[in-house]
Structure 1
């Protein structure tokens, strides 16, 4: 690493540390909600599970809809709007490929996302103990289903590709820009209900790593660090090649307008604009 690039990294950290912390908090909140909801719905001792013991599909839909709403809450929360609510290295990679995130910021985003996921996994492990470790919850790990790693890879690639295309299409639309978070939440809910048996439904390499480290189980971990980033990067490249409308304003999932109309105070703009040439 050159001295100049190291200096840029430090300068970015000094200026945008609050955005990075928002990313870490966002993924930690997501993982906490996933753990609590899964425990409530799936742990045998849970009153909710006992009430819905024979209604597996109902439990899946409740989990999917609840986690979809969690994503919506993160996207439209003040701290989600501050950082852009990526909470996912693959999403960050896509916006970096679009030129809407500076390289130092992208690096810090990924590092803080991973740190937030690892920290959340350990805190949940300590706080929930045997509840979190119970086989019905299993630290909310995402691992390949019985069909094997190849199908899990394909499933993760497909759902990640679709999610990124939908996100980019929405953010490039004046009509759907402000509703992008709701679209992503709806997709996540459907994925949890229908895709989980194939790969555990990750979409997010950092989230999978956090759960894997807490569980001490790393089966298939590689595919979650390859399929979602590759799929979202490819979706971004193809979108740039095929889309000929107006340019994207920013890398904020809630949508925004750059410049004077930015909702952020002067000097506190989110790190979403490309570096000057």
Structure 2
């Protein structure tokens, strides 16, 4: 059975449905990803692998579930990349990002309710930098890993030659691998929505720009993919 998933082709005759899907999908992803971090802290050492699997599997599942409605962006960096390559209009990009960020705040609020005030000291599960990690190095790492995520998005859901049915799985696996590699270094956010809500609700703004600017820079890889592989006249366009 072929599953039709395309981040760039949605029916916006009822756009509020797409925005609602982005809210719900992003909420679940942030809630699970941050919740896994807090569970590791308070209820037993599940390790980096389990936390990475929780984030990647949650994201992949939410993309599957929202793809037919909104395209399953669930990440401001992905939406930005698709806007930069003219796969989504500016107005819809704005509302997508607003929906994603509001969902992040909602997830942070629910995490606070579930885990209590003790979780505030751990930024409600938001990523943190590892010891002695330079800010510039963290920024570059987040940018590179987000570029890898955008690469997966374009190669599996935008490029018509790609394995479209496997898009959510591939994207989720990128998040898992990034978490295993960079989780102890930067938290491997690759997504501003993963950080903004929990960080703001817990009022911990330390190094927050790293997880906004890094993914924003990584989103530029969509332009690179478009130029190299999807230019007019190629079979992939």
Partner of 1:144: 129
In structure 1, what is the equivalent of residue 120 of structure 2? Answer: 133
Where do 1:197-276 residues align within 5 Å?
197-233=184-220, 235-243=221-229, 244=231, 245-247=234-236
Among candidates 74, 91, 94, match of residue 81 of structure 2? 94
Partner of 1:154: helix, strand, or coil?
A: helix
Q: Deviations over 1:11-70 (max 9, x none)?
A: x99830111011111111112112332233331xx2xx1xxx5xxxx6211221222211
Does residue 64 in structure 1 map to residue 63 in structure 2?
no
Deviation at 1:127, TM superposition (A): 2.9
**Contact between 1:145 and 1:152, CA under 8 Å: does it hold in 2?**
no
- Give the 3 Å change call, closer, same or farther, for CA 71–105 of structure 1 in structure 2: same
Could you tell me which residue of structure 2 aligns to residue 119 of structure 1?
A: 106
Task: Tell me the CA shift for residue 90 of structure 1.
Answer: 0.7
**Equivalence for 1:18:** 17
- Contact map agreement 2:63 2:74 (CA 8 A) in 1: no
| Residue aligning to 2:179 | 192
Q: CA deviation at 1:241?
A: 1.4
Matched-pair contact (CA < 8 Å) for 2:179–2:188: yes
What SS does the corresponding residue of 1:21 show, helix, strand or coil?
helix
Residue of structure 2 equivalent to 1:272: none
- Runs (5+) with no aligned partner, structure 2: 1-10
Give the drift of 1:168. 1.1
Which has more radius of gyration?
Answer: 1
Listed as ranges, the gaps of 5+ residues in structure 1 are 1-11, 249-277
Q: TM-score, normalised by structure 1?
A: 0.74
SS across alignment from 2:209: helix
**In the alignment, does 2:152 pair up with 1:166?**
yes
The residue aligned with 1:181 is 168
Give the TM-score of the pair, scaled to structure 2: 0.85
Counterpart in the other structure of 2:63: 75
User: Does the 8 A contact of 1:132 with 1:139 survive in 2?
Assistant: yes
CA distance in 2 between counterparts of 1:20 and 1:247 reads: 28
Contact 1:72 1:181 in 2 (8 A): yes
The offset of 1:206, in angstroms, is 2.2
